[in-house]
């Protein structure tokens, strides 16, 4: 089995026994999400249980590419199980994180970990190559995520984490174990608690931190010294060189490489000011390095949304000058193990309530947080501590701010006015609002969570920045959609799939884009585990004609590692199969098309207030001509969205009256056993 370790570790926390699953039993699902969904399907008989139920199974999966030299595909780990964050149903869901964990797990000889049951008291799992021990964790319980990792590093090395780790008389290493852990938020069963690895890698969505807390599982540590069999090592090196030469950044001519995902490029997705002195930091095997290690020790490895949590408050408090409060507040998120989106949107929300005069000391929603100190470290620490330790009204925050609003009898009103910006499934909006970038919103509401898959976001970022600055976005919209459309197999060469004009966003073309996105990500990004930061690459400015690596690159790397002959289309089809399996789980959990709708504000509040200023642009047709059109100022039409759902369900071969899978569709995908189970539960779609 080239690319695989060959076995999956199964741990039952209830009796603390371990066993193995032969990876071959699930090889048809390839890895990551596909394997995780299939294992979950087999092991969780009653899929309607709460995520906190001991019978909930959490899978932690790698892929055949994990730990290899495939660029941007070595280090992601896929986490799945019934989540506890979404509402009204705790959907079977997923999350994903980078760093060193997946490669180290492979080097230790495991393709994944399956967690079952519940320990009677706190434990941690110590994996050293083949040796697996479930150990007492009383001494770790109560520690934050960083201190927990330091303690485990010391314990594994026996002499301090800066010393050799000796696994037996012949094997020793200076590598530190890769540790995945929860902080106090997880211990206290917060539905918005994360799993944290190293300084800033988080499995954030789904509330898996709280789920681990409910299982009394504090951490998993793994250190391995093995290798991974590659089917065609020479072919892998040739593929790397091909990618670098053809698609990589041209360091001698950076202007020509203004868009390349294969080469050194200064990370841009930070909201805070750049550190004065920092170096790039990368996940294992990554050619880029999107994170940083800093000379101050603040803000290490944090990137993207968690860096926005406190920046604006800090600057506003300190006369426009950013202080260390910004970095430290983000570090606290990581240490307590709290979902950054919930913390950010939640803080915005309670501040609105405070300004309305109903939240604060002695108010109807009593809280001692002193908003005069907003922007200071002290405030951030108090706010996050309230969540992590469920102090005072923080007990409500820890349930997620959607559930908090419901408890406070404010949910309906605040979703109508939009002051609670939770668009779908009781989850916070990401920054790609469904009213503007519809493929993100549609994918989220038709799935289980905020998708957090950035495949098409450059279509917003390029023109929105250029037009705001008075420049003409390049390449022109018509050229860009043509290049991308060529790659949207099996719906290729239909540029209308990328028409974000209001006339087109409810069309079958848009349904195809959403379906393509679901299938692509389910397989290539969540099962093969290509990093969302680097893949797909539709456009590459260095290549004549601007056509990026996607379509050719994904299967080429996959095939040289595994020795399989797997086409891009094969991957899309397997992605569709996995997506159908997931939808079957959601159906068993209670999903029906009648509950598939956005929060009220999405249907009547114009996004961004008005469409009178340059804010959000996407490709679209106006009077038959392609351009980058302004989409702020619009909202979704509820009736038309219902029509869109019907188109989408028909496209997927699902029953358009219920959204449930049909036997014919499932059997055509080799999922007869799924159809049988749905029929037994009276949840099989008609037709």
| Separation CA 515–CA 488 (nearest Å) | 10
> Is residue 581 classed as helix, strand or coil in its secondary structure?
helix
Could you give the residue ranges of the DSSP H alpha helices within 357-436? 377-388, 394-397, 401-407, 411-417
296 belongs to the binding site for another protein (CB under 8 A): no
Half-sphere exposure of 490 (CA within 13 A, CB side): 13
Say if CB 299 and CB 275 are below 8 A apart: yes
Q: How many chain residues bind another protein (CB under 8 A)?
A: 46
In whole angstroms, how close is the CB of 443 to another protein at the nearest point? 14
Distance CA 120, CA 126 (A): 18
CB of 357 or CB of 362, closer to another protein: 357
Task: State which of residues 231, 312, 365, 543 lies at the interface with another protein (CB under 8 A).
Answer: 312
Shortest CB 431 distance to another protein, Å: 3
User: C-beta of 171: minimal distance to another protein in Å?
Assistant: 39
- Minimum distance, C-beta of residue 317 to another protein, in the bound complex (Å): 9
In the bound complex, what is the minimum distance in angstroms from residue 333's beta carbon to another protein?
15
Contact between 460 and another protein by CB under 8 A: the answer reads yes
- Least Cβ distance, residue 573 to another protein (angstroms): 29
DSSP states of 261-327 as a string?
SBS-------SSPPPSSEEEE--TT-SS--EEEESSSSSTT--GGGGGTTHHHHHHHTTT---HHHH
**Shortest distance in whole angstroms from residue 436 CB to another protein:** 8
- The answer to the question of residue 577 lying near another protein (CB under 8 A) is no
Residues 346 and 397 sit within 8 Å (Cβ to Cβ): yes
Query: Interface with another protein by CB under 8 A: which range of 86-94, 223-231, 311-319, 667-675?
Result: 311-319
192 to 231: interface string for another protein, x by CB under 8 A: ----------------------------------------
Of the candidates 516, 511, 559, the residue with the CA atom closest to the CA atom of residue 538 = 516
Closest to 196 measured CA to CA, from 293, 99, 284, 56: 99
Q: Give the nearer residue to another protein in terms of CB position, either 214 or 257.
A: 257
Using omega within 30 degrees of 0 as the cis cutoff, is the peptide bond preceding 536 cis? yes
Closer by beta carbon to another protein, 19 or else 316: 316
Which of 28, 461, 592, 664 contacts another protein by CB under 8 A? 461
Per CB under 8 A, contacts with another protein among 430-459 are 430-433, 436-437, 454, 457-458
Does residue number 525 form part of the binding site for another protein (CB under 8 A)?
A: no
Q: Tell me how far the alpha carbon of residue 451 is from its chain's centroid.
A: 7
Q: Please report whether residue 270 would count as binding another protein according to CB under 8 A.
A: yes
Shortest reach from residue 406's CB to another protein, in Å:
20
**Closest CB to another protein among residues 234, 266:** 266
Measured between its terminal Cα atoms, the distance across the chain in Å is 40
Q: Is the dihedral of CA 70, 30, 529, 8 positive or negative?
A: negative
Least distance in angstroms from the C-beta of 61 to another protein: 24
Q: Which two tokens stand for residue 541?
A: 């400015």
- By the rule CB under 8 A, 474 interacts with another protein: no
What's the Cα-to-Cα distance from 160 to each of 100, 151, 163, 344, rounded to whole Å?
20, 9, 6, 36
Which residues, other chains included, contact 328 with Cβ-Cβ below 8 Å and sequence gap of 6+? 298, 377, 380
Can you tell me which of 435, 522, 533, 621 binds another protein, judged by CB under 8 A?
533
Nearest-approach distance from CB 461 to another protein, in angstroms: 5
Half-sphere exposure of residue 214: CA atoms within 13 angstroms, side-chain side: 25
Dihedrals φ, ψ of 218, to 5°? -85, -45
Of 508 and 600, CB closest to another protein: 600
**With binding defined as CB under 8 A, does residue 308 bind another protein?**
yes
CB of 341 to another protein, least distance (A): 10
Tell me which of 362, 470, 544, 545 binds another protein, using CB under 8 A: 470
Looking only at residues 350 through 379 of this chain, which bind another protein when binding is defined by CB under 8 A? Answer: 351-352, 355-357
Site membership for another protein, residue 324 (CB under 8 A):
no
Q: How far apart are CA 616 and CA 618, in angstroms?
A: 7
Per-residue contact string for residues 599-638; x = within reach of another protein by CB under 8 A: ---------xxx-xxxxx----------------------
> Which of 169, 251, 253, 268: binder of another protein (CB under 8 A)?
268
**Residue 131, φ and ψ in degrees, nearest 5:** -80, 125
Q: Which is nearer to another protein, 47 or 317 (CB)?
A: 317
Residues comprising the chain, all counted? 687
Q: Which of 405, 434, 431 lies closest to 420, judged by CA?
A: 405
CB of 627: closest distance to another protein in angstroms?
Answer: 17
315 binds another protein (CB under 8 A): yes
Q: Which CA distances in Å does 539 have to 163, 496, 551?
A: 45, 18, 12
Q: Which residues bind another protein (CB under 8 A)?
A: 268-271, 304-305, 308, 312, 315-316, 319-320, 344, 348, 351-352, 355-357, 421, 430-433, 436-437, 454, 457-458, 460-461, 464-465, 467-470, 533, 608-610, 612-616
């Amino acid at each position: 089995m080239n690319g695989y370790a060959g076995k999956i570790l199964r741990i039952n926390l209830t009796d603390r026994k371990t066993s193995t699953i032969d990876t071959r039993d699930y090889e048809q699902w390839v890895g990551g999400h596909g394997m995780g969904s299939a294992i979950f399907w087999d092991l969780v008989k009653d899929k309607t249980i709460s995520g906190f139920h001991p019978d909930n199974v959490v899978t932690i999966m790698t892929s055949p590419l994990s730990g290899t030299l495939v660029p941007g595909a070595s280090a992601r780990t896929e986490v799945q199980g019934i989540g506890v964050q979404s509402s009204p149903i705790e959907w079977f869901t997923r999350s994903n994180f980078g760093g060193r964990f997946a490669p180290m797990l492979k080097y230790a000889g495991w393709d994944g970990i399956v967690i079952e049951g519940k320990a009677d008291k706190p434990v941690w799992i110590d994996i050293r190559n083949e040796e697996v021990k479930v150990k007492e964790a009383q001494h770790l319980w109560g520690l934050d995520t960083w201190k927990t990792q330091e303690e485990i590093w010391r314990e594994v090395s026996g002499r301090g984490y800066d010393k050799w780790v000796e696994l037996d008389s012949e094997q020793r290493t200076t590598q530190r174990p890769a540790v995945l852990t929860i902080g106090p938020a997880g211990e206290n069963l917060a539905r918005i608690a994360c799993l944290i690895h190293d300084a800033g890698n988080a499995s954030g969505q789904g509330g898996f931190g709280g789920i681990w807390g409910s299982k009394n599982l504090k951490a998993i540590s793994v250190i391995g010294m093995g290798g991974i069999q590659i089917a065609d090592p020479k072919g892998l090196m040739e593929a790397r060189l091909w990618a670098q030469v053809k698609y990589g950044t041209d360091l001698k001519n950076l202007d020509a490489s203004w868009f390349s995902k294969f080469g050194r490029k200064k990370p841009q997705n930070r909201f805070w000011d750049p550190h004065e002195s920092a170096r790039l930091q990368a996940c294992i095997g990554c050619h880029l390095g999107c994170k940083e290690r800093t000379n101050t020790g603040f803000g290490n490895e944090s990137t993207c949304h968690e860096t926005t949590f406190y920046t604006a408050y800090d600057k506003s408090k300190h006369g426009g000058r950013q202080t260390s409060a910004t970095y430290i507040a983000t570090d606290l998120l990581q240490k307590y193990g709290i979902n950054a989106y919930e913390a950010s949107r939640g803080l915005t929300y309670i501040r609105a309530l405070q300004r309305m005069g109903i939240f604060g000391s002695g108010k109807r929603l009593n809280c001692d947080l002193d908003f005069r100190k907003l922007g200071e470290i002290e405030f951030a620490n108090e706010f996050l501590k309230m969540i992590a330790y469920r102090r005072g009204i923080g007990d409500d925050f820890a349930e997620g701010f959607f559930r908090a609003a419901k408890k406070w009898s404010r949910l309906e009103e605040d979703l109508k006015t939009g002051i609670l910006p939770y668009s779908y499934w009781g989850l916070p909006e990401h920054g790609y609002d469904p009213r503007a970038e519809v493929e993100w919103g549609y994918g989220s509401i038709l799935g289980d969570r905020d998708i957090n898959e950035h495949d098409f976001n450059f279509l917003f970022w390029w023109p929105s920045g250029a037009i705001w600055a008075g420049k003409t976005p390049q390449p022109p919209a018509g050229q860009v959609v043509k290049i991308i459309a060529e790659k949207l197999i099996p719906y290729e060469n239909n540029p209308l799939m990328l028409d974000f004009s209001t006339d087109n966003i409810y069309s079958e073309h848009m349904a195809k884009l959403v379906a393509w996105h679901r299938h692509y990500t389910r397989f290539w990004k969540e099962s093969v585990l290509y990093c969302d930061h680097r893949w797909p690459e539709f456009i590459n400015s260095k290549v004549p004609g601007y056509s990026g690596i996607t379509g050719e690159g994904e299967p080429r790397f996959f095939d040289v590692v595994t020795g399989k002959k797997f086409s891009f289309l094969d991957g899309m089809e397997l992605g569709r199969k996995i997506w159908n399996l997931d939808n079957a789980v959601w159906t068993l959990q209670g999903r029906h098309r009648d509950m598939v709708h956005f929060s009220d504000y999405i249907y009547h509040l114009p996004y961004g207030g008005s469409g009178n200023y340059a804010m959000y642009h996407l490709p679209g047709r106006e009077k038959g001509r392609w351009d980058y059109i302004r989409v702020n100022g619009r909202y979704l039409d509820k009736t038309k969205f219902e029509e869109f759902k019907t188109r989408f369900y028909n496209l997927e071969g699902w029953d358009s009256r219920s959204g449930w899978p049909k036997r014919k569709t499932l059997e055509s995908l080799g999922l007869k056993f799924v159809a049988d189970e749905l029929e037994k539960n009276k949840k099989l779609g008609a037709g």
